[in-house]
Amino acid sequence: MNLPSFGGAVRRLILINVVAFFALALISWVSPGFDRLLMPHMVLEPLAVMHGEVWQLATYSLVNPGILSMVFAMLTLWFTGSLLESSHGGRWLMELYWTSVIGGAAVATAVSFTHVFGLRPDVASVGAWAGIFGLLMAIAMLFGDQEFLLWFVLRLKAKYMVAIYILIAVAVLLKQADSFGALLQLSGALAGFLFVKFAPRRGFAFGMTESFYGVRNSYYRYKRRRAARKFEVYMRKQNREVHFDEDGRYIDPDELKRDPNDRRWMN
């Protein structure tokens, strides 16, 4: 029953959600009229997203329907996020969480216009569970055989624990009790699965940085080879021969004359 560490990206995500929860609660208490004006633009409503309010794809995750939902969501985020951060790093965890939040919202928004399972694009949903379902899916994929205490009572392997969460969401979707909310959670799990399956090992940011430096280094090597060829032409005009390797590095003439089987030059 040892509690996981509370720091890094996990702490930042939880603090963002907690600060947003209390800030919205304070706004609702101080100015109910402003709260009624603000909330329709923060929740995820597919119809509003299609009309240009694309920021809802992220802001809905900062709106929690109640204190119990908030506490349970943050506890789950803490326990799952700390394990993933310790193995893959904070930047990777941040990318996974927000990919699940935004990707799940985009998928759920698109599906809502099909009207399957009684879905309607004018129904809104809120909560951090799409991002958390993405983390749960990552746990099942990466640590499927590791045991957890489900609700601090039942000891289960991670893959079975995540299967229970998925089945509950599917049941809610089929019962049409909160179809869009359940779809949002399942879409977050799908986005998390795709991220773990196809994203670079250390995340998109690291992969883009590596790609940038790779392109930059290729350009520098090209310039060095080009300068080497020009210098070879110039030296031939001066009746001298110089040589460079394929990367544009100067080759000592003594190296060209040296017999590779001669070991006398070695200490």
Is-contact 76 9, C-beta < 8 A? no
Which of the 8 DSSP states describes residue 91? H
Mean pLDDT per 10-residue run, the chain (267 residues)?
A: 79 94 92 90 94 94 89 90 89 94 95 89 92 94 80 76 89 84 94 89 57 66 78 77 72 61 54
The residues spanned by each domain of the chain are: 8-199, 211-257
Please check whether the domain covering 8-199 is classified as CATH 1.25.40.10: no
Question: Reduced to 3 states, what is the DSSP secondary structure of residue 168?
Answer: helix
Residue written as tokens 């060829």?
A: 229
Query: Which pair of tokens denotes residue 12?
Result: 């930042």
Q: What pLDDT score does 255 carry?
A: 62
Q: What is the pLDDT of residue 261?
A: 59
Closest alpha carbon to 93 in 7, 151, 179: 7
Residues sharing a CB contact under 8 Å with residue 112, sequence separation 6 or more, in sequence order: 46, 119, 120, 121, 123, 180, 183
The secondary element (H helix, E strand) that includes residue 72 is: helix 67-88
DSSP 248: S
Rounded-to-integer distance, Cα 59 and Cα 116, Å: 25
Q: Which two tokens stand for residue 89?
A: 């790093």
Contacts of 164 (CB under 8 A, 6+ apart): 150, 156
pTM of the model: 0.75
